Structure 1
Amino acid sequence: METITTRGVAIPRLGFGTFRMPGADAQPVVESALALGYRHIDTAAMYENEAAVGAAIAASCVARDELFVTTKVWHDQLGPEALHRAFDASLRKLGLDHVDLYMIHWPSRDMDMAATLDALMSLRERGLTQAIGVCNFNLPMLRRAVEEIGAPIASVQLEYHPFLSQAPMLTYLRGQGIPQTAYAPLAQGRAANDPTLAALGLKHGCSAAQMAIAWLLDQPGVAVIPKAARPESQRANLDALAIRLDDEDRAAIAALPKDQRFVRPPFAPDWDAAA
């Protein structure tokens, strides 16, 4: 598995997402993913499946140093004391002595960003997380975190798929040497039914969904965390690692609409804020 090295950690470029896999139902799914060869597992307190993910890791017998485990703190727990309590609860549920990446899941409009990032950095300094990151920050927020506060951000997780451009963010992140992790890489299932992706899939002998993942993996500095409940879908996502795009493929996908954002909770930041 190819990795991206950032802030002293190596992130496997294709990970396994666990959103909307609540409770014990997640355990056999994650066990299957680990058995197939996934080594990057993405969870969050809000997913309500950290205990199941931890049980799957324990049952897998995969060595801890072979795994990259990410979890996240919810936006209502961003005060320093609340964040530390949330982290302790996540670590306890996972049954681990550390995580590899701890992230702010969503920014809060009233958070003290400096204090929140300082709390994250303290976890890193104590060895409880190998790296820290943020999800769903817009570009002005990220600039402040990196340039003013000096937080050692190891990854930024954002909605990213063939129907949504992240060009300004990617340009900035590459300039800073920070990878972007693409969540919802299949546009919540829409990629599987897109005729352009399907036609390219016929050319490559793969599915439209695999083309969407391959397009993301074709881009430098991008990691991808698709979710898949069925072992055959998990395997298909792994097989996307072998797909090689050509310029014709890239041009066809570039021509798709790039303004379709599907994750829009009421607490989301202003995505159009000027950098």
Structure 2
Amino acid sequence: MLEKSDYRLGFGTYSLTDEDGIDALVTAIESGYRHLDTARLYGNEAEVGEAIARANVDRDDLFVATKIAHFEEPEKTPDYIRNGVEESLSRLGIETIDLLYHHWPRGQDDIETVLPVFNELVNSGQVERVGVSNYTPSDLELADELLEPSPYAVQAEMHPFLPQEELRAAVRDRDAYFVAYSPIAQGEVFDTPEISSIADKHDVNEATVSLTWLLSKDDVVPIPRSKTPEHIRNNRKALELELDDEDIERIDNIDRRLRCEDPAWMEW
């Protein structure tokens, strides 16, 4: 489904909670976003579900992704995963999760415990597709052995300061989608002369340029997040903007490197 233009620009929901969060989510849906990304650990699946119920959009037109088994969750038994997915379905108010990610694995044991349960969840109809989040290329090799079929999507941080060439190549080899979180590097793109210059050239802002650059990459699906209605709507301009080859090359050649999410225990 992510090949459809309606899903190529998703909406991240991290930290969108309570009524303000619901309002932002409803604004996003009614502004045209159809791909919603949440997680058990975000603590806002109920808000996402409420926004889905309030928005004047059919459930069948939405692509709902969530995640389970974050590295901060101490228990990752098969029953924990099964029960957790049932809870996610209840909070989201949906019958099937369109895309379920394994969220931040904490080593090979985590992967070997969680992914076989994902196969069960697909077979039971509770989950339509399986993805993995913050996996390394070697983690993907293990996932290939455990999942049937292989991951539909791989979610990781990606933006002009973290182009992820090696991981993207591994994702392309598997004919999967690369779902890019922190697509504007948590605001860092606004202080980058190359990106600002391109934004001025096209009369847009730096966030739009960064999102359009990501969309120019085959099978990359950015998921920006915002609580501000103006920013939520403005990010949609990335679907209309066309960067020329020179613009894309300038961004490709930015030599600054930054990883916004980098746990000390993670070995990239």
Whether the 8 Å contact between 1:14 and 1:40 is mirrored in structure 2 is yes
* Structure 1 residue 105 displacement after superposition: 1.2
* Structure 1 residue 215 displacement after superposition: 0.2
* Structure 1 residue 255 displacement after superposition: 1.7
Q: Is 148-157 or 128-137 further displaced after alignment?
A: 148-157
* CA 1:103–1:110: 2 relative to 1, 3 Å: same
> Which of 45, 60, 84 lines up with 1:65 in the alignment?
60
**Corresponding residue of 2:165:** 167
* Structure 1 residue 150 displacement after superposition: 4.0
Gaps of 5+ in 1: none
Q: Is 1:48 equivalent to 2:43 in the alignment?
A: yes
Instruction: State the alpha-carbon separation in 2 of the partners of residues 165 and 133 from structure 1.
Output: 20
**Corresponding residue of 2:246:** 248
Whether the 8 Å contact between 1:160 and 1:185 is mirrored in structure 2 is yes
Instruction: State the alpha-carbon separation in 2 of the partners of residues 24 and 265 from structure 1.
Output: 30
RMSD over aligned CA atoms reads 1.8
> Which of 39, 51, 66 lines up with 2:34 in the alignment?
39
TM-score by length of 2: 0.93
> Which of 1, 17, 21 lines up with 2:12 in the alignment?
17
**Corresponding residue of 2:80:** 82
Whether the 8 Å contact between 2:100 and 2:130 is mirrored in structure 1 is yes
CA displacement, residues 111-164 of structure 1 (integer Å, 9 cap, x when unaligned)? 342331110111111111110110001110011212x22442110000000001
* Structure 1 residue 165 displacement after superposition: 2.4
Instruction: State the alpha-carbon separation in 1 of the partners of residues 55 and 216 from structure 2.
Output: 30
* Structure 1 residue 170 displacement after superposition: 1.1
Instruction: State the alpha-carbon separation in 2 of the partners of residues 246 and 235 from structure 1.
Output: 23
Whether the 8 Å contact between 2:6 and 2:34 is mirrored in structure 1 is no
**Corresponding residue of 2:95:** 97
Q: What letter is aligned with 1:86?
A: G
Q: What letter is aligned with 1:260?
A: L
Q: Is 1:4 equivalent to 2:25 in the alignment?
A: no
Question: Which aligned pairs between 1:103-182 and structure 2 lie closer than 5 A?
Answer: 103-109=101-107, 111-146=109-144, 148-151=145-148, 152-182=150-180
Whether the 8 Å contact between 2:130 and 2:153 is mirrored in structure 1 is yes
CA displacement, residues 48-106 of structure 1 (integer Å, 9 cap, x when unaligned)? 11111100100113111100001110232432111112111111111111110011111
Instruction: State the alpha-carbon separation in 2 of the partners of residues 139 and 106 from structure 1.
Output: 14
Q: What letter is aligned with 1:71?
A: T
Q: What letter is aligned with 2:10?
A: G
Whether the 8 Å contact between 1:24 and 1:49 is mirrored in structure 2 is no
Whether the 8 Å contact between 1:11 and 1:68 is mirrored in structure 2 is no
Identity rate, percent: 35
More strand, by proportion: 1
* Aligned residue pair count: 264
> Which of 24, 27, 39 lines up with 2:22 in the alignment?
27
Secondary structure in structure 2 of the residue aligned to 1:4: coil
Instruction: State the alpha-carbon separation in 2 of the partners of residues 3 and 129 from structure 1.
Output: 16
TM-score by length of 1: 0.91
**Corresponding residue of 2:204:** 206
Instruction: State the alpha-carbon separation in 1 of the partners of residues 256 and 151 from structure 2.
Output: 26
Instruction: State the alpha-carbon separation in 1 of the partners of residues 6 and 105 from structure 2.
Output: 23
Instruction: State the alpha-carbon separation in 1 of the partners of residues 3 and 251 from structure 2.
Output: 24
